[in-house]
A and B are shown apart, each in its own frame.
Chain A
Amino acid sequence: MELRGVIERINGSLVITRFEEEPKIGDLVEVGEMGLMGEIVRLSEKTAYIQCYEATSGLKPGEPVLDTGKPLVAELGPGLITTIFDGVQRSESTLWEIAGPFITRGIHIPALDRERRWHFEPRVEAGERVVGGDIIGVVRETEAVEHRILIPPGLRGRIREISEGDYTVVEPVAELETPWGERQELRMMQEWPVRTPRPYKERIPLVAPLITGQRVIDTFFPVAKGGAASIPGGFGTGKTVMLQQISKWADADIIVLIGCGERGNEMADVVTHFPKLIDPKTGEELIERTIIVANVSNMPVSAREASIYLGVTMGEYFRDQGYDVALMADSTSRWAEALRDVSGRLEEIPAERGFPAYLADRIAEIYERAGRVITLGSGERIGSLTILGAVSPPAGDFSEPVTTHTLRFIGTFWALDTELAFRRHFPAIHWLRSFTRYLDVASKWWSRFDPRWEEMRGKALELLEEASEIEETARIIGEKALPDEQRLVLLIAEMIREGFLVQNAFDEVDTYCEAEKQVALLRALMEFYDRTEPLVRKGIPIEKIRGLRVVPELMRLKERRGLEPIERAKAEMEREVRELEEEYREAI
């Protein structure tokens, strides 16, 4: 039902409107003569507080407001993949065609192209019974993605008619007869209110890690498919690059990348570079499985708030088709600031740092939408949604509210470190301050490559930790004064850092590291320690160990293709160690 109102007051993005009758909270509205998009965020009888998704300058009290009677919904159907949307699901490529390179206000375009035809192939036959969540047909949306057309949640009945053919998203592809004898046309497009989680049958345990090809993540701090992770860090510590790396290389079926209140050029970078990259798994262009939401920092703040929900809804929709979806939100801090902005204008009582008291709840609601589920529909289709969120703490200080609250709702924490970033140790994920709660899941998966995986990983982390304690001492007495056993720990820690943890996103080879290679590298490094530690204990000077030719080679293995160089280095290590033993036989 549409309702009319009149603007009473305009304070930035907040527009206070008096309606003829009481509207609903959450309704989408068109504000002013320009028809700006907005949403009702608070209600006091007939007076509605509207957060406007477009700039309000020039708007006057007295101008009309139209309540559409519908909440903010996402359109779901073929045409989502490869599209770059703004925070309220307008295609930015289409906006560009219509209005030129600058975003113009008051343009209403549907999210999914209404003209484009897709080839629909039925997967059920007339006469079959179907329920919400069932797949009635498929569309090859891109080379990489088969889009499965689902019966919308809540609907059920018998298929009366269905036929293969080329359809637009709004043309009926089938007809359903409900148990009450009503006939209902089925279309490829469905709508879903973005703030409501999409339903599923059951949550099920997480069983596999999301493999990203990034060593520090996969080996040390993995996230499970269906899990949630957070990557906080000051500016320039590598949040965006890491989320882009994961978008590129993660073994997910669908990627949703949300640029929330961040740079326009970063989104342009994704659009420009992704199509040139080939998925190592499918051989298809990486863009062919990616949906982008680009709500950049100079767009109106309130649409930023919506953009995350939009992205999550699109992610859930593909999860419901039985896919593994990975969603990146860069940055959730900008989303939280949008909440704060609206809250401030509503004159709500602030909690910490001006954020509303419900901040923690809202963060929880978002990460709760991650998970691995049995989807609706007959059968046991499994899908997952993994949510990875960047956090941009002011002054890089992790004690601020968004970081601390996020910490409670995620399973993996990638703590970025400024000092590491300064020395261009990227990814600057700090090994002592990060954690994962998915180690069990990961161990099971990795043990297929090496039954001792968990032990090796543990040992490597232990050495890194020990090294940092030794460094503390070295800071006071100097490295020279340390016993050689400790200096060996420093050496091996350096080798793990340079030879394993450091991974240049822009290196042609090292941008992605296969699981087999990760294990082999780690094993080689740990074997080096196991071989040399007894020597040092027997009194062979550390300088001799550091001087081995295999030391720099071990640190360079990551940049060499394949596993063969690793085997060669290990043979070389064996030879050099023997020589050293030989040399010192007498002394020992």
Chain B
Amino acid sequence: MVVEAGLIYRTTREIRGPLLFVEGVRDVAYDEVVRVITAEGEVMGSVLDVSRDWALIQVFGETSGMDLNVGVRFTGETLKIPVSDELIGRIFSGSFEPLDGMSSPLSTDVRDVHGGVINPAARAVPSEFIQTGVSAIDGMNSLVRGQKLPIFSESGLPHNRLAAQIARQATIPGREEEFAIVFAAMGIKHEEAEFFREEFEKTGALSKSVMILNLADDPPIERLVTPRIAQTIAEYLAFDLDMHILVILTDMTNYAEALRSISIAREEIPTRKGYPGYLYSDLATIYERAGRIKGKRGSITLMPILTMPGGDITHPVPDLTGYITEGQLILERDLYLRGIYPPMNVLPSLSRLMKDGIGVGKTRRDHADVSNQLYMAYAEGTRARGLVRIVGVVGLSERERGYLEFADEFERRFVNQGYYENRSIEKTLDIAWDLLSMLPEEDLIRIREEYIKEFHPSYRGRG
């Protein structure tokens, strides 16, 4: 943190939750960083509302135990961090204090953590297929470099494993460039953060990664700056140092709760479930920093992870996230309980940038059609599964029974795979064709006839 000396005010009039109301201040800027000085040390805060003689401050640490005598020092700066290539391989706290025993990074190059807005005219459309080796993603919800694709999960599901597997396996077929990882934790458990650290260490990714950790027992309000620090570092690495960055942000629900607690303390009018109306815009200022820029080599691919309270996808955090990100990968308890890894329900999952990343010269020409057909057939199969509960298998028509069987096999052979299993896209598509051949050929109407002739197992080897 870049901090400059300044006057210390002891004119706090009110402490309400994470907010301080300070009077008699002069020359304070909106969004300026403050240091709140207590007997135990210093905590950071920032100005939320300011008039000529008072300022409202949100404190990124604990306020319980503070009294009206706290010192408040205004730094004259908005929140900035120094950036340099020396950040690579480092581990920091959620407010950028070193956690790895090394000294605070120094640089003359400091960046505002709020970043700028990438000019839409300067954006390059992400279009390079990333092979994650996970069929449910590569085959049906393909990820491309520069995309923002979140994982919607529930507590207890293996979203961390999936993210780690993706981080380990992600490659651009035919190229050897690897991702460097910027990892930001918000309110997750120690063991979860430790899991990621070990995973990154095993693959050697740790030396190319930056970790920003705000854990479950760290101050919740600090989570408001954690993802912004991560994105600031990612932007620097991607757009100044030409690196390909995978940013993992977990758990965004904890972030949103921190935002909510500020909003409640300010007595703002909530919209849904106590969340403020600006949650959408606020999340956008984090997520939209991913992407590619014309004329720059690097990229930011973003994978936020969030747990849906009660598995409810209509909860404001997944809902608004889905409105901003370029798709979503959805993990479900039902699949998990049936032993499917990754327990991904492909139907509500989506990759909006898939169309630009697949097809001739990228994956295979039948890819889009095959994926489309799998969606249709699996939807048909799950519908049949719903019917079975009422009319029993005997009540199904032969056609419905075929689809039911398809759905089971699809989950077992296509979605399900090993944590260390890294499937090529050809392998994924071949499994898909094997499954589709269970269905009557005339039902494959989402697939062009020429591709059926070329790839359908019953035509193979017949020239």
Contact = CB atoms under 8 A, between A and B. Distances in A.
Interface of A: 8-12, 16, 55-62, 84, 92-93, 95-96, 99-104, 234-236, 259, 261, 263-265, 267-269, 271-273, 294, 296-299, 301, 334, 337, 340-341, 344, 350, 353-354, 392, 394-397, 418, 422-425, 474-481, 498, 504, 506, 549, 551-552, 555-556, 559
B288 A101 contact: no
A299 B115 CA distance: 11
A424 B372 contact: yes
B107 to A, nearest CB: 19
Given A299-B117, A350-B269, A9 B123 contact: no
A506 B78 contact: no
Given A354-B270, A422-B375, 18 more contacts: A57-B29, A58-B30, A58-B78, A102-B117, A103-B118, A235-B323, A261-B281, A264-B291, A268-B121, A296-B120, A297-B288, A299-B117, A337-B280, A341-B281, A354-B277, A394-B314, A395-B272, A396-B314
Interface stretch (B171-179, B246-254, B331-339, B392-400): B392-400
A334 B337 CA distance: 38
Interface in B1-37: 27-32
Interface stretch (B49-57, B94-102, B155-163, B428-436): B49-57
A10 B48 CA distance: 8
A264 B118 contact: yes
B293 A101 contact: yes
Most chain-A CB neighbours within 10 Å: which of B27, B118, B289?
A: B118
B342 interface: no
Contacts of B114: 55, 57
B29 A480 contact: no
A62 B272 CA distance: 37
A101 B294 contact: yes
Contacts of B39: none
B87 interface: no
A103 B119 contact: yes
Contacts, number: 224
Contacts of B397: 478-480
A396 B269 CA distance: 22
A476 B319 contact: no
A95 B400 CA distance: 57
Contacts of B45: none
Given A354-B270, A552-B442, A298 B375 contact: no
Most chain-B CB neighbours within 10 Å: which of A9, A422, A504?
A: A422
Nearest to A334: B280
A59 B29 contact: yes
A506 B390 CA distance: 38
Contacts of B348: 418, 422
A559 B285 contact: no
Nearest to A344: B269
B355 A506 contact: yes
B372 A504 contact: yes
A261 B120 CA distance: 12
Contact of B289 (A96, A298, A337, A418): A298
Nearest to B266: A11
Contacts of B112: 57
B72 to A, nearest CB: 16
Contacts of A55: 114
A529 B202 CA distance: 63
B359 to A, nearest CB: 9
B438 interface: no
B327 A101 contact: no
A423 B442 contact: no
B324 interface: yes
B340 interface: no
B174 to A, nearest CB: 23
Most chain-B CB neighbours within 10 Å: which of A99, A102, A397?
A: A102
19 contacts: A8-B52, A60-B27, A60-B30, A101-B118, A263-B288, A265-B291, A297-B288, A297-B324, A299-B117, A353-B272, A354-B277, A418-B348, A422-B347, A423-B380, A424-B375, A476-B390, A478-B387, A481-B391, A556-B445
A299 B288 CA distance: 10
Contacts of B287: 298
A397 B312 CA distance: 14
Nearest to B368: A506
B277 A296 contact: no
Nearest to A396: B314
Interface in B255-282: 268-272, 277-278, 280-281
A93 B391 contact: no
A476 B392 CA distance: 10
A236 B391 contact: no
Contacts of A60: 27-30, 50
Contact of A235 (B322, B396, B445): B322
A265 B118 CA distance: 10
Contacts of B320: 394
Given A235-B323, A337-B281, A478-B396, A9 B119 contact: no
Interface string B279-303: 0110011011101011110000000
Nearest to A297: B284
Contact of B117 (A9, A296, A395): A296
A264 B120 contact: yes
A236 B390 contact: no
A296 B278 CA distance: 14
B139 interface: no
Contacts of A102: 115-119
Most chain-A CB neighbours within 10 Å: which of B32, B124, B268, B446?
A: B446
A294 to B, nearest CB: 4
Interface in B325-368: 326-328, 347-348, 350, 352-353, 355-356, 368
B280 A297 contact: yes
Contact of B119 (A10, A11, A95, A392): A95
Nearest to B126: A265
Contacts of B319: 234-235, 394-395
Nearest to A267: B120
A55 B113 CA distance: 14
A228 to B, nearest CB: 23
Nearest to A61: B52
B281 A271 contact: no
B376 interface: yes
